[in-house]
Chain A
Amino acid sequence: MTAFRCPTCGAPGRFSSGAPYAVCRYCKSLLVRTDVSVDSVGRVAAVPDDFSPLQLGVTGVFDRRPFTVVGRLRKAWDEGSWNEWCVLFDGPQFGWLGEAQGDWVMTFEQPASALDDIPGAAEAAGAGPGNRWRLGGRDFQVSDVKQVTCAAAEGELAAVFAIGEAVLCVDLRGSGRGSGLAFATVEFHAQRRHVYVGRYVEFSECRFANLRPLDGDV
């Protein structure tokens, strides 16, 4: 089922990426696709204006693999917010291109086995910068521990937070220099944990097309 009518407002929509979630572009209902139907699980806020050079439909290249930006989560914590762009590679495979304070990070969800060596949520909440964790056999250092919510969303999404859910997120940095620096995020949801691993990217290395016009320096 790719084409649908929004169960809330009746507006036409389309799942074109194979992602399980989409945001109705008219009423901002967060829709989840099942085998038989498209259900609304609530409303999300529209993404507030920002100065990101990305927008839905932007195409780029990561490690010689082309991708398309299909969705965005605006994640927030006490001290600010940032963008997580959901990108679709051939395969299909989803990746997340994080955009925070001018830094760009591409991550991919890892199998649950990557989590084997890490502490549980209670212990993770007490983790601090510099703590060393192993993820999928690689060494990382905790750089940030915070409670995160999804403030807004648009487009099609490979994963979402439940509406109103605050998730403990731990950001980690691995080894490597410059844009090769490894990066990971572990999300401690109520019932499950997710781990995303990837690396920093230089904006220029992605050779983006269809960027939002910005009078910056690309």
Chain B
Amino acid sequence: MSETPTKSLNCPACGAPITLRALGSSVMVVCAACRTEIDISKPEFRIIQQFNVAARAFDLALGARGRLRGGLFQIIGAMIRSNGGYSWTEYLLFNPTLGFRWLVEDEGHWSLGQTVKDVSELNSGLRGMRYQARDFRKFAAGAAIVDTVVGEFYWRVKAGSRAWTTDYVAPPLMLSEEKTETESIWTRLEYLDPHEVADAFKVPVREPTGIAPHQPSPAQQTLHVIKRYVWGSLALAVLLQVITVFMARNLVIPLGVYVPPADPAQEVVLTSLHLPARRSLNELTASAALDNGWVDVDYALVSKQTGESFELGTGFEFYSGADGDGAWSEGTRSSTVLVPSLPRGDYDLVIGTASGDSRGGRVDQPMQLSLVHDVTPWRNFWIVCAVIAMYPLVLVYRNLVFERERWSDSAFSPYTEHTSG
């Protein structure tokens, strides 16, 4: 077992024991009992500022250790910062070989932050910053004032000290710039699931409230996961449909002309036709030179082999005339119906009609009939596409709702009009 290097001192103000955990890197420590600020940058420790105020309890204790994103870190300092009535907590974590990290808690949302060293990679972009090939969008700007501070820090932090912060987001990341009169420090923060923090430090954490500026959208994450499957299924559906298109025979079979019989109730057996495909979708078209009339057609395709009858009906109507606005017409002079699932074989087409015209008589124009055998079915394809797209579209919608809510807290929302500046 290796020793944890610590050094202890007693608070020169209140006498409470203080444990130093990052000696050599720290320049100050704030007594957890009375909040007295002590300079430890020189071997002779001295009081910077004395408060004698009981420190507010933090969710995570100084000295607590937790493994976060692959590194074991110890909490050496903590501060509560605020802007107006709004406050959040920042913990300073230390590991002797990995250095410092920030653990930030804001409304129950947690982030792990690290100071940006490669500042030459920071470039301002149209709506924010560009860093390491990612675009960060400006989300918030405001003051950050230190309300309460305890523990060790590698710079001199004081209650009351103020900085100006600007946050840019690219979920799950945030870039935060902190400016004082003398310097500007950039921090790259990564959103943590609250359970990661609870597991790391073995403490319960509260449920987060609202949406954090850089919280990843759950719908977006799911979309990201299923994206490849969605595109894969669509590609497969398209491929199958392309094959279907190429395999379809599209054989045009003229069926001749139907002449309305003298007895309107009489059915006409038009022709016998041969359908060579094993099972086919067929397009049956009827057309007549209608003049202000309507036709209802009942088809029956009767198999010569089995006697099975496939029945379906259709109809069309066409009217025309002229009025004050000029000539008009409505309706069509033909109708096409799909006859699905016809087995291979020879068929009789039995036709019965009912019709009428504007003069109260029957339509007596002959009707042209034709059939395209083995056409490409499209309906199933569109149904499949719709089914595949349904869940992703729901997610896209949910993501939009989430993003609108996220940005509703921002003065720089892309969803609302605002004056820049």
Contacts and interface: CB of A to CB of B under 8 A. Distances in A.
A200 B114 CA distance: 15
A49 interface: yes
B100 A141 contact: no
A200 B116 CA distance: 13
Given A101-B100, A103-B117, A216-B97, A79 B27 contact: yes
Main secondary structure of the interface of B (DSSP, over half): loop
B43 interface: yes
Given A51-B25, A143-B119, A174-B120, A217 B95 contact: yes
Contact of B7 (A49, A81, A218): A49
B118 A176 contact: yes
Interface in B1-55: 1-5, 7, 21-27, 41, 43
Nearest to B26: A80
A178 interface: yes
B24 A52 contact: yes
Interface string A82-116: 11000000000000000011110000000000000
Given A48-B43, A49-B7, A129-B183, A177 B2 contact: no
A54 B27 CA distance: 20
A79 B41 contact: yes
B324 to A, nearest CB: 77
- Most chain B CB neighbours (cut-off 10 Å) among A143, A174, A214: A214
Interface centre among B41, B155, B183 (most CB of A within 10 A): B41
A14 B155 CA distance: 38
Interface in A23-68: 48-53
B25 A177 contact: no
Most buried by B among A49, A101, A102, A217: A102
Contact of B95 (A100, A102, A176, A213): A102
Contact of A49 (B23, B155, B156): B23
Interface in A201-218: 203-204, 213-218
Contact of B117 (A51, A80, A181, A218): A181
A76 B42 CA distance: 9
Interface string B111-131: 000000111110000000000
B394 interface: no
B100 A175 contact: no
A80 B154 contact: yes
A101 B25 contact: yes
B329 interface: no
Interface in A178-203: 178, 181, 200, 203
B99 interface: yes
A96 to B, nearest CB: 17
Given A51-B23, A80-B154, A213 B2 contact: yes
A53 B117 contact: no
* A interface SS class: loop
B154 to A, nearest CB: 5
B154 A101 contact: yes
A51 B154 contact: no
A215 B95 CA distance: 9
Contacts of B25: 50-51, 80, 82, 100-102
A102 B100 contact: yes
A178 B99 contact: no
A102 B94 contact: yes
B354 interface: no
A76 B39 CA distance: 14
Contacts of A81: 24, 27, 41
A203 B120 contact: no
A129 B184 contact: yes
Nearest to B100: A102
Nearest to A103: B99
Contacts of A76: 41
Interface in B92-108: 94-100
B247 interface: no
B99 A215 contact: no
B155 A80 contact: yes
Contacts of A48: 23-24, 43
A51 B119 contact: no
Nearest to B96: A216
B5 to A, nearest CB: 5
B38 to A, nearest CB: 14
A80 B97 contact: no
Nearest to B99: A102
B342 to A, nearest CB: 66
Contacts of B7: 49
B55 to A, nearest CB: 23
Contact of B5 (A51, A100, A176): A51
21 contacts: A48-B24, A48-B43, A50-B24, A50-B25, A51-B24, A80-B41, A80-B154, A80-B155, A81-B27, A81-B41, A83-B24, A177-B132, A181-B117, A200-B117, A204-B97, A214-B4, A215-B1, A215-B3, A216-B72, A217-B72, A217-B95
Interface of B: 1-5, 7, 21-27, 41, 43, 67, 71-73, 94-100, 117-121, 132, 154-156, 183-184
Interface of A: 48-53, 76, 79-83, 100-103, 129, 141, 143, 173-178, 181, 200, 203-204, 213-218
Given A50-B23, A214-B4, A214-B97, 20 more contacts: A49-B24, A50-B24, A53-B96, A53-B97, A79-B41, A80-B27, A81-B27, A83-B24, A102-B94, A103-B117, A141-B120, A174-B120, A176-B118, A177-B132, A181-B117, A181-B118, A214-B5, A215-B2, A215-B5, A217-B73
